[in-house]
């Protein structure tokens, strides 16, 4: 935790209407009902109030629904807080910085509890939603908890205190505290959850341990020749199926006017010109970039929309420049090189001195030389094969289980288990700072508070000054 950026009590009086409304949060429908997003597994009896909507559309749909709900039902204004941020603003902000589409398919991120129309005056950033963090949010007057770990993750048969998630979600709703989660979308970001651990070791040349993007399809420059009056229509048809996309821009093309010539045979059926005579037609030379995987569809669109019987087109392969060294794919975990070789003992000592962990578990020869380090904040069992494939000397993560650890040792990979909490809590200050910067750009005014509650469920026994066997 970043003690220097701890919470400040800036807002003491809760909005009375918001508190009164808290009790009806569970009876809402439409955009509200999507707030509860339990995981749907096969055969699950869980509640599927999300209606199967693809996650990438959820946030946009929620925000769009705010306006339609306001129009249809009338907005209940909060006296005195008409100019406050709305929860919808914060959903959009988090999605802009950490897009929900970047989250793993099995994950449940975004709004979990709350009404996008509600006012937000203070946001508490934390790793987990627990009784303690809810208590902290209430004490600090935070009406939004922005947590790394989703509270609602597994299917909930009911929203009652009979389960831990149900108990906490119910308490949050009753207290008028919304919950928003940024989980694997934060893990995969650049920078993301694993960066602070990599920074502690000063890793260089870091890249994603499990990159999100596969190999990029190559590109071609498609060049075609179109009668001037038809150019816009043909361009539109090609762009409709994916031609001309460069970054965040589509319909990217270039054209110059010129003259086309052709002589149709006696059997031809020319759209313009005469058979068996040399014709000259005013045409545009249109250039447009196309990825190889879209080329077939684009050529089909071109020939389908072009007026000519025979359409002239050429596709030139393009050479992509190598990415700049600082460019990095999004993805889970990181792998990089130490500036100079260290022993495993030195790596462990460096991490133990900088992470909020009561101790580390180390598997491997402490005198072994380490050059390449793989890192994954949180529970990293599943990326052991990636660490092996990256030829890492040691893999730093948390929550490692017995058998995967034995398998890793068999394959020659050393392990450092620094704990789930410690390897992720280190990322919270940067997470909060990134959101604060984006909030400032968007003119949002809610206070961003850093939780001071440790949600690490573990303590080490015997602790400092204790010895095993003491009973008092």
Residue from 450, 453, 457, 456 nearest 5 by CA: 450
Q: How far is the CB of 420 from Zn ion (least distance, A)?
A: 6
Beta partners for residue 221, in sequence order = 289, 316
In terms of CB distance, is 141 or 378 closer to Zn ion? 378
The smaller minimum CB distance to Zn ion, of residues 181 and 413, is found at: 181
- Closest approach of Cβ 197 to Zn ion, in Å? 13
For Cα atoms 390, 424, 412, give the angle at the middle one, nearest 5 degrees.
30
Give whichever of 148 and 306 is closer to Zn ion, judged by the CB atom: 148
Residue nearest to Zn ion (CB): 378
Which residues ranging from 362 to 421 are in contact with Zn ion (CB under 5 A)? 378
Nearer to Zn ion, 336 or 378 (CB): 378
Query: Interface residues for Zn ion in 235-254 (CB under 5 A)?
Result: none
Distance between CA atoms of residues 449 and 122, nearest Å: 7
Cα–Cα distance measured from residue 121 to residue 141, given in angstroms and rounded to the nearest whole number:
8
Residue nearer to Zn ion on the CB measure, 209 or 222:
209
Residue 150 touches Zn ion, criterion: CB under 5 A = no
State the DSSP string of 123-171: EEEES---HHHHHHHHHHT-SEEEESS-SS-S--S-SSTTSHHHHHHHH
> Total number of residues binding Zn ion (CB under 5 A)?
2
| Min separation Cβ 424 and Zn ion, Å | 5
Q: What's the CA gap between 17 and 362, in Å, rounded?
A: 53
Which residues 46-65 are close enough to bind Zn ion by CB under 5 A? none
**Measured from the CB of residue 212, what is the shortest distance to Zn ion in angstroms?**
18
Report d(CA 254, CA 266) in Å as an integer.
34
Q: What minimum distance in Å lies between the beta carbon of 180 and Zn ion? A: 16
Question: Under a CB-based contact definition with an 8 Å cutoff, are residues 383 and 209 in contact?
Answer: yes
From the CB of 208, what's the least distance to Zn ion, in Å? 17
CB 53 within 8 A of CB 100: no
d(CA 116, CA 110): 11
Q: Is the CB of 17 or the CB of 456 nearer to Zn ion?
A: 456
Q: What is the CA radius of gyration of the chain?
A: 28
Site for Zn ion in 415-454 (CB under 5 A): 424
Q: Of the two residues 61 and 104, which places its CB atom closer to Zn ion in the complex?
A: 104
Cβ 189 to Zn ion shortest distance, Å: 14
> Which parts of this chain interact with Zn ion (CB under 5 A)?
378, 424
């Amino acid at each position: 935790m970043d003690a220097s950026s701890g919470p400040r009590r800036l807002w003491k009086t809760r909005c009375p209407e918001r508190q009164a409304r808290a009790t009806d949060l569970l009876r809402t429908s439409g955009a509200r009902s999507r707030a509860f997003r339990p995981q749907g597994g096969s055969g699950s009896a869980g509640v599927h109030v999300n209606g199967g909507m693809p996650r990438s559309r959820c946030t946009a749909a929620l925000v769009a629904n705010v306006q339609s709900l306001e129009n249809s039902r009338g907005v209940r204004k909060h006296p005195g807080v008409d100019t406050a941020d709305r929860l919808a603003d914060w959903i959009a902000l988090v999605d802009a910085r950490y897009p929900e589409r970047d989250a793993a398919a099995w994950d449940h991120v975004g709004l979990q509890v709350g009404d996008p129309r509600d006012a937000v005056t203070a946001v508490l950033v934390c790793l987990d939603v627990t009784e303690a963090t809810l208590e902290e949010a209430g004490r600090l007057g935070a009406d939004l908890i922005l947590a790394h770990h989703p509270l609602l993750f597994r299917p909930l048969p009911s929203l009652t205190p009979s389960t831990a998630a149900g108990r906490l979600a119910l308490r949050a709703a009753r207290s008028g505290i919304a919950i928003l989660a940024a989980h694997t979308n934060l893990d995969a970001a650049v920078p993301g959850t694993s960066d602070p651990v990599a920074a502690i070791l000063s890793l260089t040349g870091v890249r994603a341990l499990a990159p999100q993007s596969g190999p990029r399809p190559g590109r071609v420059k498609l060049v075609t020749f179109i009668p001037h009056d038809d150019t816009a229509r043909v361009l539109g048809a090609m762009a409709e199926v994916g031609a001309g996309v460069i970054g965040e821009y589509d319909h990217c093309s270039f054209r110059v006017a010129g003259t086309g010539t052709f002589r149709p045979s006696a059997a031809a059926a020319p759209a313009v010109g005469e058979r068996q005579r040399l014709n000259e037609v005013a045409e545009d030379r249109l250039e447009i970039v196309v990825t190889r995987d879209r080329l077939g569809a684009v050529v089909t669109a071109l020939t389908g929309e072009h007026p000519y019987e025979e359409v002239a087109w050429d596709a030139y392969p393009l050479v992509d420049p190598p990415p700049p060294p600082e460019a990095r794919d999004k993805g889970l975990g990181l792998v990089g090189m130490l500036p100079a070789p260290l022993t495993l003992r030195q790596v462990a000592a460096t991490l133990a001195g900088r992470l909020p962990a009561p101790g580390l578990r180390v598997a491997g020869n402490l005198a072994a030389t380490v050059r390449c380090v793989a890192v994954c904040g949180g529970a990293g069992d599943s990326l052991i094969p990636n660490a092996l494939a990256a030829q890492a000397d040691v893999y730093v993560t948390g929550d490692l289980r017995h058998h995967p650890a034995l398998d890793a040792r068999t394959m020659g990979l050393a392990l450092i288990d620094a704990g789930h909490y410690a390897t992720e809590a280190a990322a919270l200050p940067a997470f909060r700072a990134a959101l604060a910067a984006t909030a400032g750009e968007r003119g949002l005014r809610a206070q961003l508070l850093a939780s001071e509650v440790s949600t690490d469920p573990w303590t080490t026994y015997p602790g400092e000054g204790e010895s095993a066997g003491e009973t008092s």
